[in-house]
Amino acid sequence: MSRHPPTPLDAENVTYRWTQCLVEELVRLGVTTFFVAPGSRSTPLTVAVARHSKARAILHIDERGTAFAALGYGRATGRPAGWITTSGTAVANGLPAVVEAHTDGVPLLLLTADRPPELRDTGANQTIDQVKIFGDYVRWHADLPVPSEEIDPAYVLTTADQAVLRTVRRPRGPVHLNCMFRKPLEPVADDPAGTVSEMVQSWARGDRPFRTSSVPRLAVPSASLHALAAEIEDVERGLIVVGRLDAPSPAVRRLAAHLQWPLLPDITSQHRLGPSAEAVRVAYHDAILASDSFAAQHAPEAVLHFGGRHVSKRLRLFLRDAAPPLRAVVRPDPRRLDPDHRVTHQVEASVDAGADALCKQCSGRDRTAWSTAWQTADRRVARALHAAFRDRETLTEPYVSHLLSQRLPSGHAFVVGSSMPVRDAHRFGAPEGEPVRVYANRGASGIDGTVATAAGVAQARGGSVTLLLGDLALGHDLNSLALLQEHPVVVVVLNNDGGGIFHFLPIREHESFDPYFTTPQGRTFRAAADLFDLPYAQPETPDAFIDAYRSACASETSALLEVRTERDRNRTLHDVLDAEVISALERPEADDEV
């Protein structure tokens, strides 16, 4: 007797018919990784994932962590991971990651379990209003009814199709499927009746998605780019700013070299660290802009901004004050990226296509005095910073950023936490290291979920991640260290015993500064490393740090390296480094002309 191999329709009951169809369709669409937290109402989703041979479940107890891990996965792959939770406050714990995914355009698929209608608003246990709970922070939302034999599962399939489409269609972002389930939640046999359309039956026997969706390739707005090209044709004093990008853009690099406009790369632009073929990159622009006189003499007449946000406050203020008559933002996102209201052209186009089109329409240039001035400044500052670090030989926060950027292994992902780590990595990172990818949650710049985000990046890449973060950020997401078991992440925590960033704000002059803003915790993380089975080291010198980092990278497991620093001294050191940069910029050097 020949029986066909089991299909998603071979389910114990209608609930499982639906969730098996849902998971099968997601897997066929390439959503194969699910971050799952424990719960009862979500049983039909969890079991359907557990049963699927091509679905991978990553289990963790904290929904805030699983949501951030799914966010990290989406950042690293450009595809959504599934986030599975039970009902109630578990769902609400997804909000921080959803906000970040929305703000920074990261695909994320939220699958939340809910009670059936007769239990809503009745005081039933663990029941809250989950409908549209994420508000405008999701690209799309569907409140799926209780699985029913009266509804053809084709409904479930096209809902999955639509959900995935809306996570990846620009602007990418989170999508929420709220799934009502009625008991029994377990796969108890109750042969589902009801008709299943021939289309669904044929889908079940095959291996293709029920519906394929095509995401439109953004047309290049040729007329506006043509006009833009004409406006910049004669501009020598132009700058190219590169904000957050998923991957390096050779087209942007080519355009910068073609126009001889200095390229100012954000730390998350994938152009700031690692080799660059063209000399126009000004990696140390944030340090350079410490010099008011340099800034005053180098106000641009035009700026082309490619990609998302840029970390540097100095750059923002410099461009705000320079107020160039032409400032264009080119990115595949219609949302405003202009806190100072200075943007004159918003071009909704893919970064590569936009840069390519401009390159074709503008005449190329040889080196100009303008580009030489920026490159000379970059070289002088690089030299000054290298010397400053070498001479001091103490393990400071800026030095850790600098050392790490030089030693990240090729192909590594570098995840940087909000607050000073991302700023220091941007300002002091050395551009001469290996090619790496850099990720940071700078959409909404929270210090939450940083460890989980790195864990999600590691899941996507099978390891090879270094995470640099502050002590409060680590404390905030401590339980996510449990997520680092499967794929190695080297965690470097800068423990300055509180929020070092507040020393850079005017509140430091006021009496309530300490402890209300700094919030010192007086702890080391040694015991936490023990609790989560992570090898631990607390290097005290640059050499010891390099050794510890090297052996952590070489090992197959995650590790925690703790660097102790002092907030007051850190603030002073930043001022001293600024002064050294300024003096290097003002002191002509013999080999300036190269």
Ligand X SMILES: Cc1ncc(C[n+]2csc(CCOP(=O)(O)OP(=O)(O)O)c2C)c(N)n1
Residues at the site binding Mg ion, with contacts judged by CB under 5 A: 470-471, 496, 500
CB of 76 to Mg ion, least distance (A): 26
| Residue 448 contacts which entry, ligand X, Mg ion, none (Cβ below 5-8 A, type-dependent) | ligand X
Distance CA 496, CA 517 (A): 13
Q: How far apart are CA 161 and CA 390, in angstroms?
A: 55
Closest CA to 435 of 459, 413, 404: 413
| Angle formed at CA 423 by CA 139 and CA 353, multiple of 5 degrees | 50
Strand, helix or coil for residue 492? strand
With CB under 5 to 8 Å by kind, the binding choice for 558 among Mg ion, ligand X, none is none
- Select from 377, 226, 249, 371 the least CA-distant residue to 308: 249
Q: Which residues are registered as beta bridge partners of 56?
A: 33
Choices 151-159, 312-320, 347-355, 415-423; region in contact with ligand X by CB under 6 A: 415-423
Residue 25 binds ligand X (CB under 6 A)? no
Q: Which is nearer to ligand X, 378 or 448 (CB)?
A: 448
The alpha carbon of residue 280 and the mean position of all alpha carbons in its chain are separated, in whole angstroms, by 26
Rank residues 265 and 398 by Cβ distance to Mg ion and give the closer one.
Answer: 398
Q: Choose between 87 and 103: whose C-beta lies nearer to ligand X.
A: 103
The Cα-based distances of 186 to 45, 127, 191, 196 in angstroms read 10, 19, 14, 22
Q: Does 104 bind ligand X (CB under 6 A)?
A: no
- Smallest Cα–Cα separation from 73: which of 377, 487, 475, 369? 487
d(CA 508, CA 505): 6
Segment 261 to 320, residues that bind ligand X, using CB under 6 A: none
The residue range among 37-45, 300-308, 354-362, 419-427 that interacts with ligand X, by the rule CB under 6 A, is 419-427
CB of 504 to ligand X, least distance (A): 9
| Phi and psi angles of residue 264, each rounded to the nearest 5 degrees, phi first | -105, 100
Member of 104, 161, 333, 471 binding ligand X (CB under 6 A): 471
Q: Least distance from C-beta 570 to ligand X, angstroms?
A: 8
Give, as ranges, the residues between 61 and 90 that touch ligand X (CB under 6 A): none
Determine the residue with CB nearest ligand X.
Answer: 470
- Kindly state the smallest distance separating residue 421's Cβ from Mg ion, in Å: 9
Residue 237 CA: distances (Å) to CA of 298, 300, 468: 8, 5, 36
74 binds, among ligand X, Mg ion, none (CB under 5 to 8 A by kind): none
| Contact between 371 and 583 (Cβ < 8 Å) | no
Mask for 428-467, x = binds ligand X (CB under 6 A): -----------------xxxx-------------------
Q: Identify the CA nearest to 349 among candidates 225, 442, 174, 173.
A: 225
CB nearer to ligand X: give 22 or 447.
447
Residue nearest to Mg ion (CB): 470
Residue 241 · residue 305 · CB < 8 Å: yes
Nearest one of 299, 289, 377 to 586, comparing CA atoms: 377
Q: How far is the CB of 496 from Mg ion (least distance, A)?
A: 4
Cβ neighbours of residue 432 under 8 Å, at least 6 residues apart? 275, 406
94 contributes a contact to ligand X by CB under 6 A = no
CB under 5 to 8 A by kind: which of Mg ion, ligand X, none does 473 bind? ligand X
Q: Which is nearer to Mg ion, 50 or 527 (CB)?
A: 527
Name the amino acid, one letter, at 260.
Q
Nearer to Mg ion, 112 or 496 (CB): 496
Tell whether the torsion through CA atoms of 273, 480, 457 and 526 is positive or negative.
positive
* Nearest CB to ligand X, comparing residues 24 and 424: 424
Q: How far is the CB of 414 from ligand X (least distance, A)?
A: 16
CB of 501 to ligand X, least distance (A): 4
Q: Which helix (H) or strand (E) holds 74?
A: helix 63-77
Residue 420 binds to ligand X (criterion: CB under 6 A): yes
236 in Cβ contact with 370 (< 8 Å) = yes
Residue 138 vs residues 105, 108, 134, 529: alpha-carbon distances, Å: 10, 9, 6, 36
Contact characters 483-502, ligand X, x per CB under 6 A: -------------x--xxx-
- Specify the stretch interacting with ligand X by CB under 6 A; choose among 106-114, 271-279, 360-368, 413-421: 413-421
Instruction: Work out which of 268, 350, 405, 418 binds ligand X, going by CB under 6 A.
Output: 418
The yes or no reply on residue 36 touching ligand X (CB under 6 A) is no
Site for ligand X in 322-351 (CB under 6 A): none
For residue 471, what is the DSSP state? H
404 touches ligand X (CB under 6 A)? no
Residue (of 544, 525, 545) closest to 536 by Cα position: 525
Q: How far is the CB of 569 from Mg ion (least distance, A)?
A: 13
Residue 501 interacts, among ligand X, Mg ion, none and using kind-specific CB cut-offs from 5 to 8 Å, with ligand X
Picked from ligand X, Mg ion, none, the partner binding residue 178 (CB below 5 to 8 A depending on kind) is none
Q: Pick the binder of ligand X from 105, 153, 470, 488 (CB under 6 A).
A: 470
Which CB atom, from 13 or from 450, has the smaller least distance to ligand X? 450
Q: How far is the CB of 25 from ligand X (least distance, A)?
A: 35
**Least distance in Å: CB of 99 to ligand X?**
10
Q: List Cα–Cα distances, 589 to 385, 390, 538, 585, in angstroms.
A: 15, 19, 39, 9
Q: Residue 354 or residue 500: which is nearer to ligand X going by CB?
A: 500
- Shorter beta-carbon distance to ligand X: residue 289 or 472: 472
Supply the minimum distance, in Å, between the C-beta of residue 500 and ligand X. 3
CA distances from 382 to 260, 432, 482, 577, 579 (A): 20, 10, 39, 12, 14
Q: How far apart are CA 242 and CA 315, in angstroms?
A: 12
Residues sharing a CB contact under 8 Å with residue 219, sequence separation 6 or more, in sequence order: 349
Min. distance of Cβ 446 from Mg ion in angstroms? 15
What residue ranges bind ligand X (CB under 6 A)? 418-421, 445-448, 470-473, 496, 499-501
